[in-house]
Amino acid sequence: MSFFDKLKEYKRTLAEIENSVYGNKQDYLEIYERNLELEKEIAARTQELNIANKRMLTLQHIWEMMNSSRPLESVLETIVNSLQGELGYLHSTILRKQTDERGDFMSVIAEADNSVIKRVNSIIEIPMQMRRLNYFKDGFYAEALNEKKIVTVKNIAEALRGIIPDLPDELFKKVMSGMRSKLLIVIPLYTRNKPFGLFCVFSSRDELADSETDFLTIFAQQIEMAITIADLFQAVREQAITDGLTGLYNRRYFEEYISKEVTRSLRQNQPFSVIGIDLDFLKKINDKYGHAYGDMAIKTVADVLKTNARSIDVAARMGGEEFNILLPGIDSKGASTAAERIRKAIEEKELDTIGHITASIGVATFLEHSDNLEDLLELTDQAMYQSKRTGRNRVTVAKPVSETSWQEVAVNTFLDILSRHNVPVETNLLDDLTGKLTTIKEQAEMPKEILYSVADMLIKSYNPLHEAGVVKSKVLLASSLAKRFDLPKEEIDRLKIAILLYDIGNLMLPKELLQKASPLTEDERKHIQEHPIIAARDILKPISYIQDIIPIVEHHHENWDGSGYPGKISKDEIPLTSQIILIVDAYFALTEHRPYRAKLSPVEALIEIKKDTGKKWSEALVQEFVTLIGHDLT
């Protein structure tokens, strides 16, 4: 091959190599460009996954909150705050659609806590949560709610101006001058298929992506679920704190609320008053017309209370035909005026078949008549029953606690008994009880809880099964029962002291006899039946200032038919207060465990008590007692 032929061959080979290199270069470029596209796609998908993960975590957080005991307002505030920052939303709020005499409107029930709303509220002076926001039936808020669809609004100025049209122009311009939102997203909220309101989200983006629509729809569903759960909890709570017949609050709620009011009153040195109301002649209405008409009369009184109460007043059905209404910040003069207005309104009501009804009313004021809650409620009851005793259908204002109260008499009696060593009490217990009694005797007030505790401890010394708090329950129950028979305050006070002392004779009996699990012999039974005589004559008789208590204690085991002990007296010969102690003591004995039997339920105990009607106690006493206990069981 000639030189020129070899040169041509080299040139051809070089061209082939160049073509190969260029082809490979193109392949490498294509691979490189494809890798760049894949990296971009991976980054985009990673970002989408991160956003989706954040959304899922947000939804999970909401679900956990809804299954907690947190109040609805707290849950909703956390929900709207969770949409800020990394999810790209500037602000969110939940609006509730409402209606009143002026028409439809919206109010803020939750809003995110951020610089956006703080800035707006500082400019508009009256915060958004305190404003009545306009709701136009042909606006986009109504469109979202009525058509159940998400509506987006790019004209933020129009959206804000529409709900607060009365905002001055200069303030509105200030609000809009710093507005960074480009899109308002309005999502309808429904609970149990009824329109509730709107979930409004302000976005920094000017478009709503499909994935956002899906997320916000799910997000709104979680809000709806939170509201529904809260509504159900509220319904259950209302059932627990309201009276089924009248819709008023029940005794439990009233007692909880008034305890808080005492704290507030003492802190602010501001009085409050309690009005006690008792429907007159309910028993006659029930006997003559039937219980349906009695219920109608009770509901009528409740309706009057609802109509005449202020929004801050608390009206409650305390049991049977008794009602209380608490008036925060009202003194006795104002409460007396309010009570007279209620009395007159009840009297003016004319009911089908029954005609007119009336009520007896009592008034007492905290910090004026007493600064002790238990005393205040007692004074209210006493004033109410004074109205009953003096002719009914009237208002009586309480008198301040007397200088010598029943609890002072009880404390002195216990100290007298223990100091005389009339009862066999162990030295340690004697010192403990004497110390407690001396302490409360030296105080300006007489704490009843300590007094009840002393009585409980004495009973526990011979009855190990006795439970703390039972004496207090007996005093309260006996007092309520006595009031149903219109007993005067002085007699009820004597009853309270007798409740503390009626079994004190048991201290003189052998413990092994009192705690015996097997049946008693006839001699043992006779020995136990001596305890009323021991209490009355051996322990209490030497104490001069409680001679009027002795007959109550002595006869608390006498039966209505004369078969009781020790005097075998019957019917009206037995002091009513002694009969009250007998039935109250029997009820608690039946509902407590005994060495020889298991305790009964309250309902079972009432059945047993009814069996002895006409034998142990009068029909009237059983009827009132069952009514009193029966109401507390419902």
CB atoms closer than 10 angstroms to residue 233: 13
Q: E strand or H helix at 282, and its extent?
A: helix 282-289
State the SS3 of 103-171.
EEEEEEEEECCCHHHHHHHHHHCCCHHHCCEECCCCCHHHHHHHHCCCEEECCHHHHHHHHCCCCCHHH
102 Cβ contact list (under 8 Å, min separation 6): none
Dist CA 336 CA 572 (whole Å): 38
DSSP state of 184: E
**CATH classification code of 72-239:** 3.30.450.40
CB neighbours (10 Å) of residue 141? 25
pLDDT at position 46 is 56
Q: Which amino acid is at 260?
A: K
Core vs surface per residue 405-425: b (16+ CB within 10 A) or e: bbbebbbbbbbbbbeeebbeb
Domain ranges of the chain: 1-67, 72-239, 251-397, 406-633
Q: Alpha-carbon distance 49 to 111, whole Å?
A: 28
User: What is the distance between the alpha carbons of residues 298 and 245, in angstroms, rounded to a whole number?
Assistant: 8
User: Among 417, 404, 369, which Cα is nearest to 543's?
Assistant: 417
Q: Which helix (H) or strand (E) holds 73?
A: helix 72-81
Which residues, in sequence order, are CB contacts of 395 under 8 Å at separation 6+? Answer: 336, 339, 340, 343, 361, 362, 363, 387
d(CA 24, CA 31): 10
Alpha helices in 331-488 (DSSP H): 332-348, 373-389, 406-420, 427-441, 448-462, 470-483
Q: Are the C-beta atoms of residues 478 and 533 closer than 8 Å to each other?
A: no
Place of tokens 């007094």: 451
Q: Euclidean distance between the first and final Cα of the chain, in Å?
A: 123
Distance, CA of 569 to CA of 572 (rounded, Å): 9
* Residue in the structure block whose two tokens are 């929004």: 311
Name beta bridge partners: 152: 185
Q: What is the pLDDT of residue 403?
A: 47
User: Do residues 622 and 630 lie in contact, with contact meaning Cβ atoms separated by under 8 Å?
Assistant: no
Provide the residue type at 172 as one letter.
Answer: F
Q: How far apart are CA 231 and CA 236, in angstroms?
A: 9
Q: What is the SS3 assignment for 200?
A: strand
**406-633 CATH:** 1.10.3210.10
Q: Which residue's entry shows tokens 């905002």?
A: 167
**Residue 142 CA: distances (Å) to CA of 147, 165, 189:** 8, 16, 12
Q: Check: CB of residue 198 under 8 Å from CB of residue 97.
A: yes
What is the value of pTM for the model shown?
Answer: 0.51
Total Cβ atoms within 10 A of residue 569 = 17
> What is the architecture, at CATH level 2, of domain 251-397?
2-Layer Sandwich (3.30)
What whole-number distance in Å separates Cα of residue 203 and Cα of residue 498? 74
Q: What's the confidence (pLDDT) of residue 50?
A: 57
3-state secondary structure of 228: helix
How many CB atoms within 10 Å of residue 355?
A: 8
Four-residue CA torsion sign, 481, 486, 489, 494: negative
- DSSP of 321-374: TEEEEEEET--HHHHHHHHHHHHHHHHH-EETTTEE--EEEEEEEBTTTBS-HH
DSSP for 552-605? HHHTTT--TTS--SSS---GGGS-HHHHHHHHHHHHHHHTS-BTTBPPPPHHHH
Peptide bond into 488 cis (omega under 30): no
Q: Rounded to the nearest 5°, which phi and psi values hold at 187? A: -115, 125
Please, what are the averages of pLDDT over each run of 10 residues along the chain (634 residues)?
Answer: 60 62 58 65 59 53 53 73 69 89 88 87 86 89 92 91 90 88 92 88 86 81 77 64 90 91 91 96 92 94 94 91 95 95 95 94 93 87 84 89 72 82 78 82 65 88 84 91 87 93 83 74 80 82 86 94 93 94 93 77 91 94 88 52
Token pair for 389: 């005793």
Whether residue 324 contacts residue 274, with contact meaning beta carbons closer than 8 Å, is answered with yes
Structure tokens at 335: 């409460």
In the numeric block, the tokens 């007092």 are attached to: 479
Q: Which residues of 482-505 are buried (b: 16+ CB within 10 A; e: fewer)?
A: bbbbebebebbbbbbbbbbbbbbb
